């Protein structure tokens, strides 16, 4: 079983839709949770960073962590064609530094 599971999609939505991207994980010791956005032919870039459970909002993006269910989500409101990318979740333990990444979900927002 992989440490981090992520539905690869692809996910296709109309412009303006609310998008929900999700990851599940097996290691209850994960404490830090990240979302990266990766445009085609580019490296990943950090989008959101959260610690432990709860919600974090940044503009149109909301990251949600449910540690009891070992489930994290990224919500994108009022999605735009420029949001079309692959979204990777990542997480790490409280001790040590290594990140564990999901395989990524490919999102296309159709104008």
List interacting residues with other proteins (CB under 8 A): 6, 32, 34, 41-46, 49, 88, 90, 92, 97-99, 101-104
Q: Residue 41 Cβ, how far from other proteins at the closest point, in Å?
A: 7
Closer residue to other proteins (CB): 72 or 79: 72
Residue 106 C-beta: closest distance to other proteins, Å = 10
Closest separation between CB of residue 103 and other proteins, Å? 3
Cβ nearer to other proteins, comparing 44 with 64:
44
Max Cα–Cα distance, the chain, nearest Å: 43
Query: Based on C-alpha coordinates, what's the Rg of the chain?
Result: 13
Give the residue with the Cβ less far from other proteins, 44 or 83.
Answer: 44
Kindly state the helix (H) or strand (E) to which residue 14 belongs, with its residue range: strand 11-14
22: exposed, middle or buried (C-beta count within 10 Å: 0-12, 13-18, 19+)?
middle
Q: Least separation, in Å, of the C-beta of 101 and other proteins? A: 4
Closest CB to other proteins among residues 53, 103: 103
For residue 83, the SS3 value is: helix
Task: Write the CA distances from 83 to 10, 22, 25, 32, 79, integer angstroms.
Answer: 14, 16, 25, 24, 6
């Amino acid at each position: 079983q992989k440490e981090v599971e992520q539905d690869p999609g692809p996910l296709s939505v109309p412009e303006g839709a609310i998008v929900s991207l999700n990851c599940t994980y097996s290691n209850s010791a994960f404490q830090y949770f990240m979302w990266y956005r990766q445009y085609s032919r580019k490296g990943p870039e950090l989008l959101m960073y959260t610690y432990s459970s709860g919600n974090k909002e940044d503009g149109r993006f909301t990251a949600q962590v449910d540690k009891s269910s070992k489930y994290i989500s990224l919500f994108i409101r009022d999605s735009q064609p420029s949001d079309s990318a692959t979204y990777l979740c990542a997480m790490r333990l409280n001790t040590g530094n290594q990140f564990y990444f999901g395989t990524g979900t490919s999102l296309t927002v159709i104008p």
